[in-house]
Amino acid sequence: MKILMVYPKYPDTFWSFKHALKFISKKASFPPLGLLTVAAMLPKEWEKRLIDMNVSVLTDDALKWADYVFISAMIVQIKSSKEVIRRCKKLGIRVVVGGPLFTTRYEEFEEIDHFVLNEAESTLPSFLDDLKKGCAQHIYTSKEWPDIRKTPCSQWELINMKKYASMCIQYSRGCPFNCEFCDIVILNGHKPRTKSKDQILEELEVLYAQGWRSSVFFVDDNFIGNRKRLKIEILPFLIDWMKQKKYPFSFFTEASINLSDDEELMRLMAKAGFNKVFVGIETPNEESLTECNKYVNKNRDLVACVKKIQDNGLEVQGGFIVGFDNDPHSIFESQINFIQKSGIVTAMVGLLQAPRGTRLYGRLKKENRLLNDSSGNNTDFSINFIPKMNVEILINGYKKILNTIYSPKHYYKRVITFLKSYKSKALKKKINFNFCNLRAFFKSIWFLGIIGKERFHYWKLISWTLVRRPGFFHLAISFSIYGFHFRKIVEI
């Protein structure tokens, strides 16, 4: 059996880092971890190939080679997914699909041969058994949350790692919280499930053996969902392993704001090699936090929480949302002020979306306020429901936030705010000034320091960093390049 696994193309978004990746000659931020894991679950005797359309061209010859094309996609990849499916059907190739897009919106794809939905550990074995017997069904679903301690290590040899900025692994699935707008609990459940220490060891060892020596993203819904196990078993193991291997990786992940409540956990994460964490801040407005059930963020000095995490050596990347029913007209200035004061350099601000299956989707449907399905990209100036605030005021206010926080003046000021207070707990190792990084530095001089609109702010940051925080020079260059990407996205 010949299986071609296809990962559809992402549109140009905030998290694509498309314009930043050009500086380091990479094609994509992350590889398709889901498909790589599914590949390891298929029969060993099958021939398998993988084409990530974000790094390679999908040709008709590649499609014709396959007996089956397997597609996995996020909602934001829907346009590319439909085009791949159209091409497959035109060539008469059978298609098997799975992943978040198809799990939540499978009824939109009538032409699909087989849907293997929900988590592959639950549904893929049944499909493979039926396929072997010659009686594969149209749809496979499951309501169970599988034990991911049985999930195999991803089949990394199917990709060219050099095309990616970072690798990724998964330690846990699920989140203990239940925010109204979030579909995590729909896809992965409310109770965090974790892999074993031995699984994490195997996955890290495989990446190490493949020659990877850069960042690794733990793609968990909420890395600290099971804090006790992290502190007792996983982080101490990571600390020992990293020391033994002479610190080949740096780690980053996603966590809730209550990470700031646990000094020991933050200290262990930094010691293990974590240097960044994405946190859903959402909004500084308490009434909006209550509305969306984001109780873990309530009754806090959120700026102080961010500073505390950054004091422990973890750069906070923040997610923010406007468009809640309880947002006042002052929310736009409030968001700008919060972002600038907190020094969150990478601040993703999006319009509220109601993904299918979420409690927000259900509530808005009852209120007859739904307009269409979510695009999966909450930074594309679209909104899929009727907001309480006047739409024109909401969109213009949202644009004002983006145009302000990513203007060179505000962005570079925020970088300096961060670097002034950041207390790095980085593992003591030499910064890797390889050819790729040096090329990125010289490209930044040309595109940002010479021909860029931000050249005054760029050189001000460079000179300030060299004088005041020379140990963070590499961060100053990285942030400058990120800012270039963010401004390109805002201009689209």
My answer on whether 409 and 313 are in the same domain is yes
Residues 379 and 447 placed together within one structural domain of the fold: no
Burial class (CB in 10 A: 0-12, 13-18, 19+), 217: buried
Structural domain for 363, as ranges: 166-421
Last residue of a domain, one of 86, 106, 140: 140
Residue 229 to residues 95, 185, 195, Cα–Cα distance (Å): 40, 21, 11
Residues 356 and 283 in one domain: yes
Question: Is 154 domain-assigned?
Answer: no
Looking at residue 311, which CATH number applies to its domain? 3.20.20.70
Co-location of 191 and 261 in the same domain: yes
Regions of the chain short of the pLDDT cut 70 = 426-434, 492
List CB contacts of 134: < 8 A, sequence separation 6 or more.
none
Q: For residue 200, is it within any domain?
A: yes
* Residue 150 within a domain: no
* Inside any domain, residue 159: no
Same domain, 396 and 482: no
The answer to whether 215 and 166 have CB atoms below 8 angstroms apart is: yes
- HEC states along the chain? CEEEEEECCCCCCHHHCHHHHHHHCCCECCCCHHHHHHHHHCCCCCEEEEEECCCCCCCHHHHHHCCEEEEECCHHHHHHHHHHHHHHHHCCCEEEEECHHHHHHHHHCCCCCEEECCCHHHHHHHHHHHHHHCCCCCEECCCCCCCHHHCCCCCHHHCCHHHECCEEECCEECCCCCCCCCCHHHHHCCCCEECCHHHHHHHHHHHHHCCCCCEEEECCCCCCCCHHHHHHHHHHHHHHHHHHCCCCCEEEEEECHHHHHCHHHHHHHHHHCEEEEEEEEECCCHHHHHHCCCHHHCCCCHHHHHHHHHHCCCEEEEEEEECCCCCCCCHHHHHHHHHHHHCCCCEEEEECCCCCCCHHHHHHHHCCCECCCCCCCCCCCCCCECCCCCHHHHHHHHHHHHHHHCCHHHHHHHHHHHHHHCCCCCCCCCCCCCHHHHHHHHHHHHHHHHCCCCHHHHHHHHHHHHHHCHHHHHHHHHHHHHHHHHHHHHHC
Distance CA 27, CA 21 (A): 7
283 with 175, same domain: the answer is: yes
| Same domain assignment for residues 235 and 265 | yes
> What is the Cα gyration radius of the chain?
23
The tally of domains found in the chain comes to 3
Please tell me whether residues 351 and 465 are part of one structural domain: no
Q: In one letter, which amino acid is 86?
A: R
C-alpha torsion 29→34→40→46, nearest 10: -100
Q: What is the CATH number of the domain that holds 86?
A: 3.40.50.280
177 touches 255 (CB < 8 A): no
Note whether residue 188 is domain-resident: yes
Q: What is the pLDDT of residue 427?
A: 56
pTM (2 d.p.): 0.96
Same domain, 403 and 378: yes
Q: Which two tokens stand for residue 60?
A: 């008709």
